Structure 1
Amino acid sequence: MSSPSDDEFHTFMTGRWPSLVRTAYLLTGGHHDAEDLAQAALARAYVKWDRVRRSDDRAAYVRKIMIHVHADGFRRRTVREWFTSRLPETAVADRTDQVAHRGALVDALAGLPLRQRTAVVLRYFEDMTPAQIAAAMGTREGTVRGQITRALAKLRDDGVLAARTGSPQESRTHPSDPVALKGRPR
């Protein structure tokens, strides 16, 4: 027999699962890792459910838990691959392949440091404000803005997305830049 609190958690969990997995996928870069991360966050939320349900924004509270679980796992990350004489099972079609240039996006995000990746994912994929991101990450709003700025600059400079999507990489030199002026005729 389930309690009203368990029913409330179940309703919350089933309603937020797709969004949590989507965010976790963008943080981890792998579907299975994303499901594991979302599940671990929900497990921690269940243990603290009385505190979570009293919060102003339950989804934000669980997202913050997920960010902390991901950071903890990132710190303890070990190699999870091993050599074997058997071939793996045949791959099954993945519905996320419907998103254009998904691989380029995941590769570009994987090249960012953890806090920059987290800030970019929460800002542009979860549509959170810098204030909300700062609360979720446990930092100041100015720090979040700086993380996002540096991440976007790195994504532009690396050209990973431009190379994969076929769009031209924009020039980062300004006409008044001394390096740009050096080769120009006077």
Structure 2
Amino acid sequence: MRADREHDFSLYVQARIPRLHRLAFQLLGDRHKADDAVQNALTVLYQRWSRMRDVENLDAYVHTMVVRSCLSDRRRWWARVQLRATTPDVPVAADDPLVEQRMVLRAALRRLPEGQRTVVVLRYLCDLPVAEVARILGRSEGTVKRQTFSGLGNLRRMLDERTRSAA
């Protein structure tokens, strides 16, 4: 790749990597797997970068690549192998009043079935319309709507149960 194209690629990636990583983390629930999924998508993007001038909406294209990378990562049998006996501690900002709410929501999202979690994250955390989510996942809009409805219902039940048990 020519130096000017490589520079353009670096600038593009630097500007978007935090958002892509947040998306992957919400879909996978693991920082290391999210790093791998984003890296895999960006590796493919780098290989195709010279052809990306013709892509109408590059951000949407890359977003789709990351989502598909996350979904393919989940399908691999070795992705379920746990190599640690305990979960590593995740640093938490003690002064943030919303930390507990975020942790509860993330735990509830991880308990959703894969399809529901993916649709809920794309619809509400990434703020994508139904048609775009359907296009990214290769599903019908009706399926996306049904999984959204079911996912939100399951989240409400989980959060209500937690609220009742905490009281």
Question: In which range does the TM-score fall when normalised by the shorter chain?
Answer: 0.7 to 0.9
Aligned residues of 1:61 and 1:136 also touching (Cα < 8 A):
no
Aligned residues of 2:34 and 2:70 also touching (Cα < 8 A):
no
Aligned to 1:128, the other structure's residue is in SS state coil
Residue 177 of structure 1 corresponds to none
1:81 aligns with 2:79: no
**Worse overlay, 103-112 or 48-57:** 48-57
Give matches, 1:1-186, under 5 Å. 3-76=3-76, 77-83=79-85, 93-94=91-92, 98=96, 99-100=98-99, 101-156=101-156, 159-164=157-162, 166=163
Residue 126 of structure 2 aligns with an amino acid whose one-letter code is E
Question: What CA distance in whole angstroms lies between the structure 2 residues aligned with 1:97 and 1:34?
Answer: 26
Aligned-residue offset at 1:32: 2.4
Question: What CA distance in whole angstroms lies between the structure 2 residues aligned with 1:97 and 1:110?
Answer: 25
Question: What CA distance in whole angstroms lies between the structure 2 residues aligned with 1:118 and 1:53?
Answer: 29
Aligned to 1:48, the other structure's residue is in SS state helix
Equivalent pairs counted in the alignment come to: 161
Residue deviations 1:37-94 (CA, integer Å, cap 9, x gap): 22222112212223444222212111111121111111112313245xxx998x5735
Q: TM-score, normalized by length of structure 1?
A: 0.74
Question: What CA distance in whole angstroms lies between the structure 1 residues aligned with 2:87 and 2:75?
Answer: 28
Aligned-residue offset at 1:102: 2.1
Aligned-residue offset at 1:129: 0.7
**Any gaps of 5 or more consecutive residues in structure 2?**
none
The structure with the larger Rg is 1
Aligned to 2:106, the other structure's residue is in SS state helix
Aligned-residue offset at 1:124: 0.5
Aligned-residue offset at 1:120: 0.7
Relative contact order: is structure 1 or structure 2 higher (C-alpha 8 Å, sep ≥ 6)? Answer: 2
Misfit runs of 4+, over 6 Å = none
Aligned to 2:136, the other structure's residue is in SS state helix
Alpha carbon RMSD of aligned pairs, Å? 2.8
* Structure 1 residues 132 and 43: CA distance shift in structure 2, 3 A: same
Question: What CA distance in whole angstroms lies between the structure 2 residues aligned with 1:167 and 1:88?
Answer: 27
Identity of aligned residues (%): 34
Q: TM-score, normalized by length of structure 2?
A: 0.81
**Any gaps of 5 or more consecutive residues in structure 1?**
169-186
Aligned residues of 2:120 and 2:148 also touching (Cα < 8 A):
yes
* Structure 1 residues 2 and 23: CA distance shift in structure 2, 3 A: same
Question: What CA distance in whole angstroms lies between the structure 2 residues aligned with 1:67 and 1:7?
Answer: 25
